[in-house]
Amino acid sequence: MTESIIKIENVHKHFGQVHALRDVSMEVRSGEVVVILGPSGSGKSTLLRCINHLEIHDSGEVEVDGIQLKSARDINAVRREVGMVFQSFNLFGHLTVMNNLTLAQWVVRKRPKDESIEIAKQLLEKVGISEKADRYPSELSGGQQQRVAIARALAMNPKIMLFDEPTSALDPEMIKEVLDVMLALAHEGMTMVVVSHEMGFARAAADRCIFMDEGQIVEEAPPETLFSHPEKERTRVFLSKVLQA
Amino acid sequence: MTPTGRPFGPGRKEKQSAPADGDFFPIGEGVGDPHDVPVGYKLDPWWWLLVAVAGLIIFLIIWRPDPYWDILVFVKDGLLVTIILTVCSFVLILVVGLLGGLGRIAKNRLVYMAASLYVEIVRGIPLLVQLIWWYFAAPVVIQAIGGALNIAPLAEYRANAIFLAIIGLVICYGAYMAEIFRAGIQSIHKGQMEAARSLGMNYFQAMRYVILPQAFKVVLPPVGNEFIMLLKDTSLVSVVAVADLTRRGREFMAVHFNPIEVWTLVALLYLVLTLLAARLIARLERDRGVRGAS
C-alpha cells in the first residue's frame, strides 16, 4: 500500500451552534479516488474544505502531503499542492480563459510567460476547449466553465484534486463532459477527493466511497459494495432516495 | 453606434496571450463581461452642455471684457489652486480609502475597530468644521506638543494652509471612500477569493489580481461621484486661507463690489470643471463596460 497523502484525525468543526464535523478521521492514499456522498448538511463539503483550509477546523489534525496545517505559510504550501474545483466554477470574470489559467502560474509559481502559456494551451486541449482561450468566462456554457476551472487547477501541477459538487450546478446535458474530464484524470492516477452524487462516476472511477451524515462518516467501502450492500440503515435510506432519482 | 469595431473591448487581440507583469491589474483591463461595451467613441449629448457652458463663458468675456475678462485674469491662479487641490487630494483619498476599506473588512479585530472608528468619527463631523479644526486648532496642538517635548521644529510650527487643507479633505473624504471600497470589495462573490486562495495566492495577491480589478468596475460610478463632490467641496477651503477659486472671487468682489458678475463667472467656472469631470468619468466607465454608462 502506498503512503497516505491526506490524513485527517479526530477533526471537529462548529459553525456557531451547528456541529458540522464530529470527530471525523479519514485517510487518502496517493493515487486514490475517493467519493464522498451524503445528504445536504452532512458536512461533506466542510470536510473537503478543511483539506485545503478554506475552513479552519476547531480541533484535530489535518495533514496534507506531510505538511500539518498550522501557520499561514503551511497553508499556502498545502494549497499549492492541492487543486480545488467548486460547484459554482468561480472563474475569474475579468480575465480571459487563457489568463485564468496563467495568472496563478505567474503569481504563485513564478513561471515564465511562455512556459505558462504553453502549459495552459496543453491543458485547454486536454479538457477540449482550446478554441475558447481568448473568451471570457461569461461567454462560456456551464460545462465549459467547469472544464476551464479544472484546467486552471491542473495548471498548478497539484498532487491532489478536490472537487466540491462539480456537476450540481450544471444542466444535465453538460454533466457528462465534465465527468469525462474527471474520469480521464482518475485514470491518469491523480489523487482525487470528490464530493458528488454522481453514482456513475463513483462506480467507474472511485476506489472508495464514503457516506457521511450529520457530521460523521457513517461507513466507507468500495462503490459496488456500498451501493449494493450498505451496512448501515442510514446509508440504505439515503441511497434508495438517490438511486431512485 | 456602428456594427463594426471591437466586439470584446479595445485591444483585446494583443492581450490574449501576454500575461506579463502588469497584465492582470491594469486598473480593470477588460473588466467584466464584454457584451455591453458600446462600439466606438462617439461623444455623447452631454458634451454639448459642456460646450454650451464654455461658450457662455467665452461669450461673456468677449461681450463684457470689463468686468468678466478682468475677473477671469484675477481668479485664474485660484482656478489652478482648485484643480491642483482636487487632484492631489483625490489621489491620496484613493489610497486612504483603499486602506480604510480593507480595514473595514479585516478579520483582525483591532484593524477592523480602528478603521470603523475612523469612519464613524469622521463621517459625523461637518467637512467645514474639520477644515477649520485642521487650520486653526491642529497647529496649536502641534506647537504645544513640540513645546512639551522640547522639539524645536514642532514648537515653531507655522500653519501651511494648502497642506492642512489637503489633510482635512483627505481625512474626511477618505472615510467615505473607505465605505465605497468596502462595499465594492464585498460585492465580489466570495468564491472568487476562495478560488484565488486555493490556487495558492496569499490574501494580498488575491486582492490585487482577482478582487480589486473586478471591484474597480463596481466602484467606478460612486468614486466618480466623490470626485465631483470633492471638486465642489474644495470651495470650503476658502475660509482657511487657501486662495482657491472661491476665495479669489471674494477678493475681487471686495474691491469692485460686483457680486452678480463675479459669482456668475465663478459658478460657471466650477460648472465647466464638473461637467468636464463628469464626461471623463462617463467615458472611463464606458471603456470598462460599466452598465448604464452614458
pLDDT for the residue numbered B17: 40
Write the pLDDT tens digit of every residue in B222-255.
999 999 999 999 999 999 989 999 999 999 999 9
CB contacts under 8 A, B 58-117 vs A, are none
Dihedrals φ, ψ of A163, to 5°?
-125, 120
Dist. CA A148–CA B256, nearest whole Å: 71
The C-alpha cell of A80 is what?
499549492
Please determine, for residue B35, whether its predicted confidence score (pLDDT) is greater than 80.
no
Annotated domain spans of chain B = 46-56+64-285
Cβ within 8 Å, pair A96-B15: yes
CB contacts of B15 in chain A (<8 Å) are 96
The C-alpha cell of B146 is what?
513640540
Closest residue in chain A to residue B189, using alpha carbons only: A90
Cβ within 8 Å, pair A136-B34: yes
| Cβ-nearest to B200 among A79, A117, A138 | A79
Dist. CA B51–CA B54, nearest whole Å: 5
Please tell me if residue B152 touches chain A, with a CB cutoff of 8 Å: no
Please determine, for residue B3, whether its predicted confidence score (pLDDT) is greater than 80.
no
Mean pLDDT per block of 10 residues along chain A (245 residues) reads 85 93 95 94 93 91 86 83 95 96 94 95 94 95 96 96 94 92 95 93 94 94 92 91 73
Band the pLDDT of B33: cuts 50, 70, 90: very low
CB contacts of B195 in chain A (<8 Å) are 84, 86, 90-92, 149
For residue A96, give the nearest of A66, A70, A134, A48 by alpha carbon.
A134
Dist. CA A215–CA A65, nearest whole Å: 24
More confident residue, B109 or A68: B109
Residue among A94, A160, A162, A165 with most chain B CBs within 10 A, to mutate: A94
Write the pLDDT tens digit of every residue in B131-189.
999 999 999 999 999 999 988 888 888 889 999 999 999 999 999 999 999 999 999 99
Please tell me if residue B187 touches chain A, with a CB cutoff of 8 Å: no
pLDDT for the residue numbered B41: 56
Chain A to chain B Cβ contacts (< 8 Å): 104
Band the pLDDT of B4: cuts 50, 70, 90: very low
SS3 B211: helix
Please determine, for residue B84, whether its predicted confidence score (pLDDT) is greater than 80.
yes
More confident residue, B29 or A95: A95
CB contacts of A95 in chain B (<8 Å) are 24, 30
Please determine, for residue B15, whether its predicted confidence score (pLDDT) is greater than 50.
no
| Cβ-nearest to A88 among B16, B191, B209 | B191
CB contacts of A104 in chain B (<8 Å) are 196, 199-201
| Cβ-nearest to B24 among A83, A95, A152 | A95
> Which CATH superfamily includes the segment(s) B46-56+64-285?
MetI-like (1.10.3720.10)
CB B28 within 8 A of CB B288: yes
Cβ within 8 Å, pair B192-A90: yes
Dist. CA B244–CA B42, nearest whole Å: 34
CB contacts of A111 in chain B (<8 Å) are none
Cβ within 8 Å, pair A138-B16: no
Cβ within 8 Å, pair A93-B192: yes
The C-alpha cell of A86 is what?
467548486
Residue among B33, B187, B199, B205 with most chain A CBs within 10 A, to mutate: B199
Cβ within 8 Å, pair A90-B8: no
How far is the CA of B105 from the CAs of A178, B101, B197, in angstroms?
35, 7, 17
pLDDT for the residue numbered B158: 87
Please tell me if residue B209 touches chain A, with a CB cutoff of 8 Å: yes
pLDDT for the residue numbered A225: 92
DSSP string covering B104-135: HT-SSHHHHHHHHHHHHHHHTS-HHHHHHIII
Cβ within 8 Å, pair A113-B213: no
CB contacts of B217 in chain A (<8 Å) are 94
CB A133 within 8 A of CB B16: yes
Cβ within 8 Å, pair A99-B24: yes
pLDDT for the residue numbered B294: 53
CB contacts of B24 in chain A (<8 Å) are 95, 99, 103, 106-107
CB contacts of B17 in chain A (<8 Å) are 98, 117, 133
More confident residue, B288 or B6: B288
pLDDT for the residue numbered B25: 44
User: How far away is chain A from the Cα of B243, in angstroms, using its nearest Cα?
Assistant: 44
